[in-house]
Structure 1
């Protein structure tokens, strides 16, 4: 399989332009620290420690949203994690940015302003178009090499992700390399025993596509969340419809045919919840067996205890477990049992395990689990879905193209 170059292949004393993904929650104008800073800090520290002159690009939010803010706060948070000073310039590729880039000394790090504050960044275009944009044409000549560490944005065809690899020798950062290896394992690796996938979350359309794509790679799907309810609906239970929510009916209409075909053709692979949890009139957690539900009268917020107990041995008997999506509204401790119970079961085994999606990985931190108990905890959402379904990731393809092009010269 063709591959990309990594930081270990980077020649010494380079002027490096590196793309990170520091997109973070913003509360009342304050950027929140999160796992992305600590992950990307390794790449930043390695580049600075090797004596490169380093300029960083990243995005935050989208125009028109409350999260669309400057990266000034990001520089301070990143510096704390990386253990190196990170200067900031409130410019992306104008004269102020270029002057700051040219002023860099060996081992110094500079964060450029939010890439999405430039008009050239956001339109989804082919790499060749982005490579000829003013943004890329202006910035690329200032550097010897480009490093892409933004795996979680690798499914996007944005200028900072796909334009620069056509102009500069390109390399994968530490996050890019580890995420790519772990997230493609389900397609690339051969496992001798059972492979299990835990499927949940609120975006049923995504995970149903994953189930369809991976039916020959996965021996068992354990369902919860919105997708789990929709599959129960297809199996004839009076759930998976909107009551106090707007999550189900639209996704059912879009996916009913696929759900029914998956259930008909691969019923023995799909394990459905046997009970569900809801909030009773006293505000407490209550559970009901799906066989006893005559009509959906309230929102179901988690899988039930019997389901968790049934899922645990299936996980223990697996050689590999992949997680996509939470099994309940784990942010509310009353409805965290499903998500946390399954994660604890995985943590207690020595199987190869990948937990994907920002929300699910947040549960690990929230409930005091250790990332070390999992083979990999992904910070990617859309890119993780693409990797699982075998769809190409444009930014990864460009890294591979760059390596191949330089090998041919």
Structure 2
């Protein structure tokens, strides 16, 4: 039984405000279709099929960024996934939005403009403060219920995620329900595993990896490191790797901030850590080339992936595991030259008869990119920050508001 009220508790035929997360890559002004549209379409379709009047809220980018665009294209893409028209209104809670909401018929779907185009949305405030905002106070009276399905922003205390649950009967959508149950219970699932528990951790932030190791070190047997954290842990051991070179500016500041903690982890948990033994870089011809850790004599180039010796080192550990959890890609998989590490480890996980949970958002996208079968994994999280918060034991404020409202 879920910790909050779900769509199973929602009486059909109501006017429902549903928050989803369709934040997507934007290339040359064109919003890119991705698995988020597919996942969230399930909740939207279910609500429409139950004769609700469905009004969708979502965000895209942040003010000042190139990805901060209207949701008009999102409505068109979502419509294709839902299999029903999704109308769009270029307004969040003004007269045009209110008129469009009030004119909806049962089973129809409307998408409002980007929530982050209203000043009330982004300030981090308490749920009580957000509930008193003009945004919430104007829209809430037009609805019978609020559904939050945006698990990937459940760690954000924004008006659309924490304000409306205090003003309306509140429910969790299917993505929120599934993601919360899987991700919040990672430690419990690891403890229940009969055999070896392994975690693949990569990405580009060493603090994330440190938080995961600190929170799950008591239940995970092997941490397989890649990405920038894999380089920084090797730097802490004295290797000439994990430094900023060329245009890179991601490593030195991170290392200065986390050096002592990394060294403490290396001292205290060395038997649980598996570190890269080779790395991939751009060769003279621009193609992928690899070099063994012991052959790196000076910090002269950037490294973009783990090498095949590391893949061969990590793969048997994966195949011998009863439970495997993934946080972050081990290389820059967006570039096909440097996707081998991420692709081959995910393939090995999919082929292993084990409990497998894969996240966050970028890593989930790599499964689709490389044609791997989503059915080979028990759960694929489309969340990034919220997935990390769950793994590191931090509160998901928007999920907690739903739980509190269910308790009341």
Which bin holds the TM-score, normalised by the shorter protein? over 0.9
List runs of 5+ in structure 1 lacking aligned partners. none
**What is the rounded CA distance, in whole Å, between the counterparts of 1:94 and 1:135 in structure 2?**
9
Equivalent in 278, 289, 302 of residue 275 of structure 1: 278
Q: Tell me which residue corresponds to 1:194.
A: 196
Contact 2:19 2:147 in 1 (8 A): yes
Matched, 1:394 2:397: yes
Equivalent in 359, 375, 379 of residue 372 of structure 1: 375
Counterparts in 2 of 1:300-379, with a 5 A limit?
300-379=303-382
Contact 1:2 1:400 in 2 (8 A): no
**What is the rounded CA distance, in whole Å, between the counterparts of 1:125 and 1:331 in structure 2?**
35
Size of the aligned set, in residue pairs, is 405
**What is the rounded CA distance, in whole Å, between the counterparts of 2:336 and 2:130 in structure 1?**
46
**What is the rounded CA distance, in whole Å, between the counterparts of 1:170 and 1:57 in structure 2?**
15
Q: Tell me which residue corresponds to 1:137.
A: 137
Contact 1:386 1:393 in 2 (8 A): yes
Q: Tell me which residue corresponds to 2:233.
A: 231
Contact 1:199 1:324 in 2 (8 A): yes
List runs of 5+ in structure 2 lacking aligned partners. none
Q: Tell me which residue corresponds to 1:62.
A: 62
**1:287 CA drift (Å):** 2.0
The 3-state SS of whatever aligns with 1:163 is helix
The 3-state SS of whatever aligns with 2:200 is strand
The Cα RMSD (Å) is 1.3
Counterparts in 2 of 1:1-400, with a 5 A limit?
3-189=3-189, 190-244=192-246, 245-400=248-403
**1:205 CA drift (Å):** 1.9
**What is the rounded CA distance, in whole Å, between the counterparts of 1:82 and 1:366 in structure 2?**
22
Runs of 4+ in 1 over 3 A off after TM superposition: none
**Deviation string, structure 1 residues 321-373 (Cα, Å, up to 9, x no partner):** 11111111222222221111101100101211111122212221111111111
**What is the rounded CA distance, in whole Å, between the counterparts of 1:282 and 1:141 in structure 2?**
63
The 3-state SS of whatever aligns with 1:196 is strand
**What is the rounded CA distance, in whole Å, between the counterparts of 1:64 and 1:265 in structure 2?**
43
**1:2 CA drift (Å):** 7.4
**What is the rounded CA distance, in whole Å, between the counterparts of 1:304 and 1:34 in structure 2?**
28
The 3-state SS of whatever aligns with 1:60 is coil
Contact 2:151 2:383 in 1 (8 A): yes
The 3-state SS of whatever aligns with 1:254 is helix
